[in-house]
Amino acid sequence: MHDQETPEALVEWLAAMLLIREFEEQAERASLRGKVPGGVHPAIGQEAVAVGAMRALGPDDIVTGGHRPHHHALARGVDPARLMAELFGRETGLGHGIAGSMHLSDFSRGYYGSNGIVGASLGLAMGAALGASMRGTGQVAVGFVGDGAANTGRTWEFVNMAVIWNLPLIAICENNLYAVETFIDNVMGGKSMVRRAEGFGIPAFEVDGQDIHEVNRAVATARERALAGDGPTFLEMRTYRYHGHETGDKGVYRTADEVDRWRTERDPIARLASSLQASGDLSEQGLTELQEQAVARVADALAFADESPWPSASTAPHPTDREGSAR
Amino acid sequence: MSDEVTYSAAFREAVRDEMAKDDTVFVIGTDLYHRGGHFAQVLGLGEEFGRDRIRDAPISEAAMVAAGVGAAMNGMRPIVDLNFIDFAFGAMDEIVNQAAKIRFMLGRPVPLVIRASSGIALGGAQHNNSPESWFANVPGLRVAVPATPYDVKGLMKTALRGEDPTIFLMHKKLSALRGPVGGLDDLVPFGSAVIRRPGDDCTLVCSGGTVAKTLEAAESLAASGVSAEVIDLRTLYPLDTEAITTSVRRTGRAVVVDEAPGFSSIAAEIAATIQEQCFEYLDGPVLRATSTHSSIPYSPPLIDAILPTVTGIVERVRQTSEAFSA
């Protein structure tokens, strides 16, 4: 299922990253305009992790993620209009306005949901991998967590369980260096989360999360291992979020210079675009067209969200009675 | 009806029946395969079903419950056996934020049963909590508290054939209680209380570990001419409010018995419900017989000193009966 890195595939990866970036830029702006109740956690800068990983998966594979999830959802093929409508809290949203940015899902795409609790997504992916293993479905489950999860104990309970039960799990830590404002190097006893993972006896690798090729190959290799019955893999994707933890974060815990360096020297979109241009697989006009397509799709998504009705108040209580919720 | 079996064996029968019928049912927990769990609740099922389906786990409660939730989302019907409910506290996020909310947030059913033993027995403060009301307070969870082998088997089958997470709490001191059980398809529905003893003068509401002593109190009251009706709730959520209010409207009095501390308890919820729905029928205050607001001590006489007692229940009935008779 691993996409061959053909020029056509790479152009599609670039388009997917451009869509995510435009979506996140516009979602954050909409949030600042008061359109998004509760704000957003934008993943601008982390696009290659999501797209590179998803393009290594099969359609039935399972993906879970954390509180910064829009890039995962979009890379998995979720409709940006329904995603934006969910951020706006509208009836037409992915979760009908019940779920919100941190609780997205699309089970038709194996997207088992984003999660508001740090580390929890990996546990659900581990459990889904157990289900896959017991039912013999041939699915692999990918659990995305952030660097904050490297310091919650349950993360390592989940990894250990996947090891001892030999589950088809890929644990991906998107290390964007800051858990809100906590710098990872200040709180990482032993200095390396990869070494922590290696302590469980599994392959664990640090990956340049700003290099979509490297991300894709690492996940494809991990997936092959899992499918061969060789168990879980831990991948630390070194990445960076250009914007704050959430809407309105002023970023006083890091320097503008640091942000600039990541943006100008390692940007995953610029890197892929320039390599495609250098190889002659993408013209300047072709790039402009991709950018315009992303802008147009997100503009449509914003319009769809804005014009969508609010959920009817009559759906609000959602009594979880003996039949479960009304959904 | 089959021969009499113990409360623990009734659980085992339910699990065995459902595992034989449905390949997706399996058990995750510690010390299951050889020991059969700390209450012999799955004894022998390891050999019968193998290590995949009687799945021993390390002492990683968060991971056990997460495994159950994720597997339930992907087509399985797991039972996560935590042995003691006190051990659930290391998995509260997985229970409250994940299992309970996933169907609400994401629309995906989570057919998961979390079994544990609850209630006050020996062993001190950290093995004897009665947190039934904590879970009943979480939308999305169902809480079963069987008092008899029949209800253990019937409620467990209902839980395993349902679509939503159930916290299945078995009282430790009932483990060896013997009684008849139902057959393969004898299910006990949730939200269906049962009248254990009919009566006309006062309604006694109880569940799980307090049913026996409440019946004993009713017997004692009968000897002095007071006819008490004893209602065993069987599940705390859904709560059979109708059974309670129907009885109280007839008897005019109610005492709620609960082994948890009374403050912020199921007993408080039931008392509130009765006064909301039966106020004009009441002939006396709704009273509670609960444990004191204390952690659980170690020494038996100290335990006895904090528990609701038969004489305490009788005294509560007298108090509510005499409240307006002066």
Residue B318, classed as helix, strand or coil, is helix
Dihedral over Cα of A204, A209, A214, A216: its sign = positive
Domain extents in chain A: 7-302
Q: What are phi and psi of B249, to 5 degrees?
A: -60, -25
Rg (CA), chain B: 20
In B90-193, which ranges are E strands? Answer: 113-118, 142-144, 166-171, 178-179
Q: Which residues contact A321 (CB under 8 A, 6 or more apart)?
A: B238
Do B238 and A164 count as a contact with CB atoms less than 8 A apart? no
Q: Considering chain B, what percentage of its residues have pLDDT values greater than 70?
A: 98
Do B74 and A132 count as a contact with CB atoms less than 8 A apart? yes
pLDDT tens column, B10-63: 999 999 999 999 999 999 999 999 999 999 999 999 999 999 999 999 999 999
Residues of B involved in catalysis: 127
Alpha helices in B24-173 (DSSP H): 45-49, 61-73, 92, 102-106, 132-136, 149-161
Q: Which residue of B has its CA nearest to A158?
A: B63
Closest CA to A147 of A71, A61, A261, A241: A241
Do B69 and A124 count as a contact with CB atoms less than 8 A apart? yes
pLDDT tens column, B119-161: 999 999 999 999 999 999 999 999 999 999 999 999 999 999 9
Looking at residue A323, what is its pLDDT? Answer: 42
Q: What are phi and psi of A174, to 5 degrees?
A: -85, 95
Q: Which residue positions in chain A have pLDDT lower than 50?
A: 1, 319-327
Average pLDDT of the segment spanning B313-325: 90
Of B108, B164, B191, the CB nearest to A107: B108
The Cβ of residue B50 has, within 10 Å, a number of other Cβ atoms equal to 12
- B287 - beta bridge partners? B255
Of A116, A129, A157, the CB nearest to B60: A157
**C-alpha pair distances (Å), B171 with each of A259, B236, B293:** 57, 14, 19
Distance from CA of A124 to the nearest CA of B (A): 4
pLDDT tens column, A172-218: 999 999 999 999 999 999 999 999 999 999 999 999 999 999 999 99
Of B26, B60, B76, the CB nearest to A160: B60
Looking at residue A250, what is its pLDDT? Answer: 86
| Token output for B162 | 């349902």
The Cβ of residue B176 has, within 10 Å, a number of other Cβ atoms equal to 11
Q: Which residue of B has its CA nearest to A123?
A: B66
Q: Are B181 and B188 in contact (CB under 8 A)?
A: no
Looking at residue B325, what is its pLDDT? Answer: 60
Distance of CA B105 to the CA centre of its chain: 27
Q: What is the rounded CA–CA span in Å between residue B257 and residue B268?
A: 10
At residue B285 the predicted structure's pLDDT band, cuts being 50, 70 and 90, is very high
Enclosing H/E stretch for A121: helix A120-135
pLDDT tens column, B154-205: 999 999 999 999 999 999 999 999 999 999 999 999 999 999 999 999 999 9
- On the question of pLDDT at B284 being above 70, the answer is yes
Distance from CA of B18 to the nearest CA of A (A): 17
Average pLDDT of the segment spanning B87-92: 97
Mean pLDDT over all residues of chain B? 96
Q: Residue A86 burial (CB < 10 Å; 0-12/13-18/19+)?
A: buried
Between chain A and chain B, the number of residue pairs with CB atoms below 8 A apart is 147
Q: Which residues contact B94 (CB under 8 A, 6 or more apart)?
A: A120, A123, B61, B62, B65, B66, B69
Alpha helices in chain B (DSSP H): 7-21, 45-49, 61-73, 92, 102-106, 132-136, 149-161, 211-223, 241-251, 266-278, 300-306, 310-322
- B-chain residues near A157 (CB < 8 A): 60, 62-63, 66
Of A113, A127, A164, the CB nearest to B66: A127
Q: Which residues contact B85 (CB under 8 A, 6 or more apart)?
A: B116, B117, B118, B129, B131, B167, B169
- A-chain residues near B65 (CB < 8 A): 123
Per-window interface: A 71-130 vs B, CB < 8 A:
95, 98-99, 103, 105, 107, 112-113, 115-117, 120, 123-130
Residue B197, classed as helix, strand or coil, is strand
> Does CATH number 3.90.245.10 belong to domain A7-302?
no
A134 touches chain B (CB under 8 A): yes
Looking at residue B2, what is its pLDDT? Answer: 58
Looking at residue A318, what is its pLDDT? Answer: 55
Looking at residue A247, what is its pLDDT? Answer: 87
